[in-house]
Amino acid sequence: MRYVSTRNAGSGPGLPFCDILLEGLAPDGGLYLPEHYPTLTAETLAHWQTLLASEGYPAVAFEVLSLFVDDIPDADLRAICERAYATEVFGEPVVPVAPLSDGVWLAKLSEGPTAAFKDMAMQLLGQLFEYELGRRDETLTILGATSGDTGSAAEYAMRGRRGITVFMLSPQGRMSPFQQAQMFSLDDPHIVNLAVDGVFDDCQDLVKTVMGDAAFKAAHNLGAVNSINWGRVVAQVIYYVVSYLRVTAALDAAGETVTRVSFAVPTGNFGNICAAHVAREMGLPIDTLILATNENNVLDEFFRTGVYRVRAGAEETSSPSMDISKASNFERFVYDLLGRDGVRVAELFGPVLREQGFFDLSATPEFAGIRERYGFVSGTSTHADRLATIRAVDAADSVVIDPHTADAVKVAWDLRDHIAGPIIVTETALPVKFSATIVEALGHEPDRPAAFVGIEDLPRQVTDIPADAEVLKRIIDERQGESATR
């Protein structure tokens, strides 16, 4: 399998998986996608159903990945999957499913080390990075900015990985106490937490400035693990396959045969639901893809009207991991929607967005087919909806869901009457991460899993820094100098 850029005019050979694994954007500014999607047959799915029952998640993960990766030997790829999805990391079974009322199911993606679905992709990425760096005899310095979930998922995935050091910037005092404790309690010489005197945008600007210094970037082999990385998307395809297999098996055992399921996905940067789109294109029997946004409803607007309008900034909400002003993976879907016309995509996401701040596909034949051909529908959920949904699910099912998951349940309920068969909601975080909103909805704190009891009391590993790129560079120089002599 070879990979091409969404802004590629169709010329030139694609790149193999491991060549794009450590990359962010393609050199032409586009995002990488496989040159075609592999196809799943009913026989393949039946075989994987048996495999899942006998050997569990890592075995299916290997099967899915091997369709996309042909430059890692099978035995190595299998071992990578076994380490990434080990019982010690995610418990057993990996990605359990649970029914709620009304034919809605939860796919529990947040049982990993940081209690957010980002662990599902990041743990695999950590293993793949370590493997590939080892093969190339290279080291990697990851520089990132986080306002919460991404940073902690990255740190827990990259810690202890040979050849990798992480420098993670976060805005001083702006993450929740739980999120701070999760990151700052990590005691690992190759994980460096830097609390910046500023807001999240200042952190991102620092990363951009330092990455923009080509000589410094090359000297330290600086890289990122942001959500446009194809490795993250493909890792997420696996849990769509597994959720489908688990829910159909459970219904089958109850005497109810279903052939198609739908998914409802709380969406920010379009990474999670992009993987659902890929799975559907591969032929996984998915009826509808329900895209849920919060008040930052850039994508709901597009799927309802055909207009993609980037916002000046994101509004702060109680489902903060979905607070986006533009969706960084959305270009992947538009590339498919427009018949893989890289020239048109380059035009839309380049000059058109730059000059007018939006593009309008409402009059195109492609947009007319968005529901029929691609299965997409969408909706928006607000703070009041979130609270009401958390209360309703607690009352009906005695299950406490987090605010992001609540956004998806709300939109799934709104659209329920138009959709046949079960709807699987991807649970993207455990409620413990967002306890203030849970208290507001239910009047009490959410349960705290044993792994997180007392983390606020652990010693904090964090250095305060000013929003100054020269200071950041000096710290990276010093720390890397130390580890070189260790």
Ligand X SMILES: *Cc1c(COP(=O)(O)O)cnc(C)c1O
Binding residues among 240-269 for ligand X as defined by CB under 6 A: 266-269
Write down the least CB distance from residue 165 to ligand X, Å. Answer: 24
293 binds ligand X (CB under 6 A): no
Q: How many helices (H) and strands (E) does the chain have?
A: 22, 16
321 binds ligand X (CB under 6 A): yes
Q: Which is nearer to ligand X, 184 or 434 (CB)?
A: 434
> What is the phi/psi pair of residue 169, to 5°?
-95, 135
- CB closer to ligand X out of 21 and 430: 430
Taking CB under 6 A as the rule, does residue 113 contact ligand X?
no
Question: Nearer to ligand X by C-beta: 288 or 321?
Answer: 321
Q: Minimal distance in Å, beta carbon 201 to ligand X?
A: 18
Consecutive H or E run containing 201 = helix 200-212
What string of H, E and C letters represents the secondary structure of 53-87? HHHCHHHHHHHHHHCCCCCCCHHHHHHHHHHHCCH
Q: How crowded is residue 11: how many other Cβ atoms within 10 Å of its Cβ?
A: 7
Nearer to ligand X, 141 or 170 (CB): 170
- Give the side-chain half-sphere CA count within 13 A for 282: 25
- What is the smallest separation between the CB atom of 182 and ligand X, expressed in angstroms? 13
Q: According to CB under 6 A, which one of 164, 298, 429, 441 is a site residue for ligand X? A: 429
Do the beta carbons of residue 290 and residue 264 sit within 8 Å? Answer: yes
Cα–Cα distance measured from residue 172 to residue 165, given in angstroms and rounded to the nearest whole number: 21
Can you tell me the distance from the alpha carbon of 451 to that of 112, in angstroms, rounded to the nearest whole number?
10
| Contact of 287 with 262, CB cutoff 8 Å | yes
The tokens describing 236, both together, are 């997420």
| Single-letter residue type at 284 | L
CA-wise closest residue to 89 among 160, 176, 191, 178: 160
If binding is defined by CB under 6 A, does position 226 make contact with ligand X?
A: no
Q: How far is the CB of 407 from ligand X (least distance, A)?
A: 8
The CA-atom distances, in angstroms, between 218 and each of 26, 212, 214, 311 are: 17, 10, 6, 33
User: Does the protein bind ligand X through residue 116 (CB under 6 A)?
Assistant: yes
Q: Which is nearer to ligand X, 32 or 270 (CB)?
A: 270
217 part of the active site: no
Least Cβ distance, residue 324 to ligand X (angstroms): 7
| Least distance CB 267 / ligand X (angstroms) | 4
Picking from 133, 138, 132, the residue whose alpha carbon sits closest to that of residue 72 is 132
- Please identify the residue of the shown chain whose CB is closest to the bound ligand X: 271
- Contact call for residue 271 and ligand X (CB under 6 A): yes
300 binds ligand X (CB under 6 A): no
C-beta of residue 377 within 8 angstroms of C-beta of residue 39? no
How many residues bind ligand X (CB under 6 A)? The answer is: 16
Burial class of residue 74, CB neighbours in 10 A (0-12, 13-18, 19+): exposed
Contacts (CB under 6 A) with ligand X, residues 120-179: 149
Q: Name the minimum Å distance from CB 257 to ligand X.
A: 32
Least CB distance to ligand X at residue 306 (A) = 20
Which one of 118, 326, 410, 433 is the catalytic residue? 118
**Does residue 322 bind ligand X (CB under 6 A)?**
yes
Question: Is residue 118 at the binding interface for ligand X, with CB under 6 A as the rule?
Answer: yes
Q: Which is nearer to ligand X, 267 or 318 (CB)?
A: 267
Smaller CB separation from ligand X, 409 or 476: 409
State which residue, 210 or 406, has the beta carbon closest to ligand X. 406
The span from the first CA to the last CA of the chain, in angstroms, equals: 40
Return the residue of 8, 272, 293, 381 that touches ligand X, per CB under 6 A. 272
Q: In sequence order, which residues have a C-beta less than 8 Å from that of residue 43 and are 6 or more positions away?
A: none
| Residues annotated catalytic, as ranges | 118
> Could you list the residues that contact ligand X (CB under 6 A)?
116, 118, 149, 227, 266-272, 321-322, 404, 428-429
